[in-house]
Amino acid sequence: MTLFRSRLLSIALPLALSLAGASCTEPIAPPDPGAVLFEVESINTAWSWSWQGLVVDADGKVYAYDLSDTAPWSYSDEDHFTAAELEAKYAHHRKLERAVPAGEAASMYARVGDALAGTVTPPQGVCADAGIIRFSALLYDESTGTYRRLLLHQRGDVARTNTSPTARELYQWLADVTATGAGAGICDPNA
């Protein structure tokens, strides 16, 4: 009986593991896009209050916003926002910086599902007084009218990164599109 069990396990275990592995490689479909797809934000409170960012919308337009002349934005959750909260955030000193083809932006957003499979590394203190630059995809939930941040990469005083290879590709594309890739290796152990 023991011999039978060990033979059965030697056959069944590799089969079960291979089936489990196959299901883990299936891409996760991202939700349908909302009005905004990606965001890069830079926050620094070292010497004065500074909060600027760039957002890529569903039409491929890249807009800058600047909240540096405001009090810190109060929101209940750093990773979940209402559409109205984001609209107000992005309206402050809004300026069209550039545009990418809408199809390119949509194509990159379609890859977000693969990035959902990654995990975010624990926060790692790296620099001091550098602030943070955070690269994110924004996942829209039409049923609630809310967005959820999917962190792709973060550098600066506290560095974190999404372990998915697709998240890295999206971060690099976003850095190129927003011209925020300069100095990427500084304060970034994950560069």
Is there a domain that residue 123 lies in?
Answer: yes
What are the mean pLDDT values of the chain's consecutive 10-residue runs (191 residues total)?
41 39 54 90 86 95 92 67 91 95 95 94 88 94 93 93 96 94 72 70
Is there a domain that residue 2 lies in?
Answer: no
Q: What is the pLDDT, as a whole number, of residue 79?
A: 86
Is there a domain that residue 190 lies in?
Answer: no
Q: What is the pLDDT, as a whole number, of residue 69?
A: 86
Q: What is the pLDDT, as a whole number, of residue 148?
A: 94
Q: What is the pLDDT, as a whole number, of residue 183?
A: 65
> What's the pTM value of the predicted model, to 2 decimals?
0.81
Is there a domain that residue 30 lies in?
Answer: no
- State which residues form the domain around 147: 36-178
Q: What is the pLDDT, as a whole number, of residue 171?
A: 95
Which residues, 6 or more positions from 120, have their beta carbon under 8 angstroms from its beta carbon? Answer: 151, 160, 161, 162, 163
- Number of domains the chain is built from: 1
Is there a domain that residue 183 lies in?
Answer: no
Is there a domain that residue 11 lies in?
Answer: no
